[in-house]
Amino acid sequence: MTGKLEEYINDLKEAIELIRQYDKVTLAHHNDADGLSSASIVIEALKREGIDVVNVPLERVHPLIVERLMEKYPGLIIFVDLGAGAAPEIAKINRGKNTIVIIDHHHTPGSRDPKVFNLSTELYGISGEKEISAAGAAYLFAKTMDSRNKDLAYIAVIGAIGDSHHRFGRLESVNRDILFEAVEQEQVIVEERNGREKYYLAKFGDKIDLDRYAKSLTVLGAVGYLMNGPDTGIEAILMGPSEKYWSSLEKLDELKRERFEKILNMLKEHGLNKTKYLQWFHVHDSFAPMGVKVIGEFCMEIRDMDFIDKNKYLAGYQDMPKEVPRLGRFNWNIVKVSFRLPTPLEERVLAKEMPGYSYIVPRAAKHVRGDIDACHDYACATTFDKGLEEKFAEYFNYYVDEYLRQTTTSKH
Ligand SMILES: [Mn+2]
């Protein structure tokens, strides 16, 4: 058995008993393919139980968002594909008022709050990086609730592919068990090519390439975040992608192309702000109404272009939209900043010659009260108040120097 799967399912049972005491639920979920997939499973499973669900798609778990969520939707709040990392903050904001259930697969510091049920698979030794997606965890939840929910297996496969859990060639562990449940029900087809598995959705007639489909769901949820994209995605997951789905996908791709082109030309003409180690630029609200995930994508696209300094860290800023679906307007002035590495610098980071983002950003962000989600050495993101960009750059450079001092001293 994988990790403590049995224990996980037992704890799910407990959460289900609790949930059954409510006739309406608020579901906060991430807006990428796995987030939309896990939300679809929970929505459908609860609907079948006769429980009403309001879903709130989120890009990030910001304290002000959590506060508003609890104010506007008191009672029972379920988080899927996010929340585990912020469990202590969620408990703190909640102050024992609402019942919180977190179904997630992200790393978590845990939580001892009796009103916060932190069901991150990571607490049970099941890896959220390759063994189970959030949709997989949601599927276990749904199937534990009622075995008839096994017809939702294909959705857990979509989620796992959305999070690239097949990147080593094939789905493994719990993901793989669920895959075979979907195959058995003729919802998914597996084909082997050059030693790697390819997955197709067969549930809705046409054979759909699941790599392509999962990517399209992330475009709907992230680029279309403020244009009803997440709901269009959830509908497609449950009912099959319609003509309308593919046409809105095309429109969103076009919008993204057009906006990227505009900023690209601006950067080529005016260049980036260059400091000792960090080069950065700001798109302000030029990417609106697209979600803030796109700034990371944009950085990834330009990181090796000619006008980028190959030896400096790369940061792109985008204003956080003041509107959050189903939560309303926020009076904040927050920026999201995404970090990527030009390939030559990435090699120096891999060689430990230069510090990775997981060394620099959490330290520097503290000085501007930035929040940190997941941070990797090669990619990272944070949010903080607009106007602190230059101050942040100073601290960024400070911590690069600090790292370099330490590595030179340790060589003696
Ligand atoms: Mn996920």
Local structure of 155: helix, strand or coil? helix
Query: How many angstroms does the Cα of residue 194 sit away from the middle of ligand 1?
Result: 27
pLDDT of residue 411: 54
Structure tokens at 168: 């080593």
Query: How many angstroms does the Cα of residue 135 sit away from the middle of ligand 1?
Result: 7
Written as one string, the DSSP assignment of 179-236 is: HHHHHHTTSEEEEEETTEEEEEE-TTSS-EEHHHHHHHHHIIIIITTTTTHHHHHHHH
Burial class (CB in 10 A: 0-12, 13-18, 19+), 166: buried
CA–CA separation, 27 vs 102, rounded Å? 10
Distances (CA, A) of 247 to 205, 243, 244, 251, 259: 19, 6, 5, 6, 19
Query: How many angstroms does the Cα of residue 163 sit away from the middle of ligand 1?
Result: 6
pLDDT of residue 384: 96
Query: How many angstroms does the Cα of residue 392 sit away from the middle of ligand 1?
Result: 29
One-letter-per-residue 3-state SS of 85-125: CCHHHHHHHHCCCCEEEEEECCCCCCCCCCCEEEEEHHHHC
Query: How many angstroms does the Cα of residue 167 sit away from the middle of ligand 1?
Result: 14
Query: How many angstroms does the Cα of residue 60 sit away from the middle of ligand 1?
Result: 13
Query: How many angstroms does the Cα of residue 401 sit away from the middle of ligand 1?
Result: 34
Query: How many angstroms does the Cα of residue 134 sit away from the middle of ligand 1?
Result: 5
| C-beta separation of 338 from 296 below 8 A | yes
Query: How many angstroms does the Cα of residue 89 sit away from the middle of ligand 1?
Result: 20
Query: How many angstroms does the Cα of residue 147 sit away from the middle of ligand 1?
Result: 23
Query: How many angstroms does the Cα of residue 244 sit away from the middle of ligand 1?
Result: 26
Structure tokens at 212: 């392509």
Query: How many angstroms does the Cα of residue 408 sit away from the middle of ligand 1?
Result: 39
Query: How many angstroms does the Cα of residue 38 sit away from the middle of ligand 1?
Result: 8
Query: How many angstroms does the Cα of residue 36 sit away from the middle of ligand 1?
Result: 9
Query: How many angstroms does the Cα of residue 216 sit away from the middle of ligand 1?
Result: 15
Query: How many angstroms does the Cα of residue 31 sit away from the middle of ligand 1?
Result: 10
Q: Kindly report the CA angle at 266 between 334 and 336, in degrees rounded to 5?
A: 15
Q: Indicate the domain borders of the chain.
A: 5-213, 272-410
CA–CA separation, 200 vs 147, rounded Å? 24
Query: How many angstroms does the Cα of residue 34 sit away from the middle of ligand 1?
Result: 5
Q: Provide the 8-state DSSP code for 136.
A: H
Q: Is the pTM of this model over 0.85?
A: yes
CA–CA separation, 264 vs 281, rounded Å? 11
Residue with tokens 């939300």: 39
Query: How many angstroms does the Cα of residue 107 sit away from the middle of ligand 1?
Result: 11
Query: How many angstroms does the Cα of residue 224 sit away from the middle of ligand 1?
Result: 18
CA–CA separation, 396 vs 312, rounded Å? 12
CA–CA separation, 409 vs 317, rounded Å? 34
Query: How many angstroms does the Cα of residue 222 sit away from the middle of ligand 1?
Result: 14
Query: How many angstroms does the Cα of residue 160 sit away from the middle of ligand 1?
Result: 8
- The verdict on domain 5-213 having CATH code 3.90.1640.30 is yes
Query: How many angstroms does the Cα of residue 265 sit away from the middle of ligand 1?
Result: 34
Q: Using alpha carbons, select from 170, 86, 81, 96 the residue that is nearest to residue 133.
A: 81
Please list the pLDDT of the chain residue by residue as tens digits (412 residues). Answer: 567 999 999 999 999 999 999 999 999 999 999 999 999 999 999 999 999 999 999 999 999 999 999 999 999 999 999 999 899 999 999 999 999 999 999 989 888 899 999 999 999 999 999 999 999 999 999 999 999 999 999 999 999 999 999 999 999 999 999 999 999 999 999 999 999 999 999 999 989 999 999 999 999 999 999 999 999 999 999 999 999 999 999 999 999 999 999 999 999 999 999 999 999 999 999 999 999 999 999 999 999 999 999 999 999 999 999 999 999 999 999 999 999 999 999 999 999 999 999 999 999 999 999 987 778 899 999 999 999 999 999 999 999 999 999 987 665 4
- What class has domain 272-410? alpha beta
Q: Provide the 8-state DSSP code for 165.
A: T
Query: Pairing relation of β-strands 76-80 and 24-30?
Result: parallel
Query: How many angstroms does the Cα of residue 105 sit away from the middle of ligand 1?
Result: 7
Structure tokens at 205: 């007639």
| C-beta separation of 219 from 227 below 8 A | no
Query: How many angstroms does the Cα of residue 129 sit away from the middle of ligand 1?
Result: 8
Taking each helix axis from N to C end, the angle separating 134-145 and 33-48, rounded to the nearest 10 degrees, works out to 10
One-letter-per-residue 3-state SS of 307-370: CCCCCCEEEEEEECCCEECCCEECCCCEEEEEEECCHHHHHHHHCCCCCCHHHHHHHHHHCCCC
